[in-house]
């Protein structure tokens, strides 16, 4: 009987490395694949994705599994990035990682892998778990509550959940790193983790978003309507974010964005957000979902 073919989405980090290792040790026919979804070459001609793919190739050689690369730059731009820009222009704060997982990684990527017969299933290094309850697939939190990524996977389809495996979902991050070290991948286990949006890199987010979204300066207002400063563009701020403004010696935080008038309403966190549950609801509750950074 032929062994099940699994593609492991690999980034060069410890989570996807251990995911591939566990799939191989479990007897699957494993292929590591790097998903290229963003094109950018800096002024020196350096392309980060080329370096990341080289790291994946090195890991796959050490694991003795085949390696490949799939490009979804066009799909990412059309189905994730463009929608993200539209949301920022409307004063919202989208989460492109949620869209990417739904539409690219567990959408176009998975469909292409299955259609090309390269794989029967897809494994990733996400911290999440799945379970079938007899009628449908359920997405569950990982055992590591500090690293849990089920929120970022919350919109993927039943078809995707049926074919996906999360090999590190039952493990703590510390256990994942120890497995990597024991298998001879101490260099990967000790590598600094990448955080944030892949396409922003080391730049300030405000500098990045201003390249794509119109950012007109406007006023910071208190709840009483007093102007206390100027912002550099609504797209640079999200609900709950620290603004850098001080009232006396107290920091101000974004409570609301008035897109029509290009105004941002701010509050003093300790006196205006922590008085009571009622006041908290009045200050920060919104009619649309935001990815808040408290």
Catalytically annotated residues: 100, 198
For the four alpha carbons of 207, 211, 212 and 217, in that order, the dihedral sign comes to positive
54-89: b or e for each residue (b if 16 or more CB lie within 10 Å)? ebbbebbeebebebbebebeebbeebbbeebbebbb
Nearest to 93 by CA among 220, 254, 237, 263: 237
Q: How many CB atoms lie within 10 A of CB 151?
A: 14
Residue with tokens 């026919």: 29
- CB–CB of 15/176 below 8 Å? yes
- In whole angstroms, how far apart are CA 201 and each of 43, 101, 206, 208, 268? 14, 19, 12, 9, 31
Which residue do the tokens 């469909």 mark? Answer: 111
Place of tokens 């290094």: 125
């Amino acid at each position: 009987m032929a062994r099940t073919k699994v593609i492991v989405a690999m980034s060069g980090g410890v989570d996807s490395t251990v995911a591939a290792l566990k799939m191989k040790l479990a007897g699957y026919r494993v292929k590591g694949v790097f998903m290229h979804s963003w094109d950018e070459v800096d002024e020196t001609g350096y392309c980060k994705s080329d370096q990341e793919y080289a790291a994946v190739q090195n890991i796959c050689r050490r694991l003795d599994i085949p390696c490949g690369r799939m490009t979804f730059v066009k799909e990412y731009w059309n189905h994730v990035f463009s929608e993200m820009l539209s949301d920022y222009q409307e004063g919202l704060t989208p989460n492109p990682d949620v869209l990417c997982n739904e539409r690219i990684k567990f959408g176009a990527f998975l469909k292409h892998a299955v259609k090309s017969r390269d794989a029967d299933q897809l494994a990733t290094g996400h911290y999440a778990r799945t379970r079938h309850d007899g009628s449908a697939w359920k997405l569950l939190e990982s055992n590591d509550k500090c690293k849990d990524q089920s929120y970022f996977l919350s919109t993927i389809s039943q078809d995707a959940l049926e074919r996906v495996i999360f090999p590190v979902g039952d493990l703590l991050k510390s256990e994942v790193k120890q497995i990597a070290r024991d298998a001879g991948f101490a260099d990967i286990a000790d590598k600094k983790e990448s955080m944030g949006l892949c396409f922003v890199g080391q730049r300030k987010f405000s500098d990045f978003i201003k390249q794509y979204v119109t950012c007109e300066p406007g006023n910071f207002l208190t709840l009483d309507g007093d102007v206390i400063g100027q912002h550099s563009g609504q797209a640079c701020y999200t609900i709950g974010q620290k603004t850098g403004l001080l009232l006396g010696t107290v920091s101000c935080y974004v409570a609301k964005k008035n897109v029509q008038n290009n105004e941002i309403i701010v509050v003093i966190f300790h006196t205006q957000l922590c008085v009571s549950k009622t006041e908290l609801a009045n200050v920060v509750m919104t009619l649309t979902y935001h990815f808040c950074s408290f």
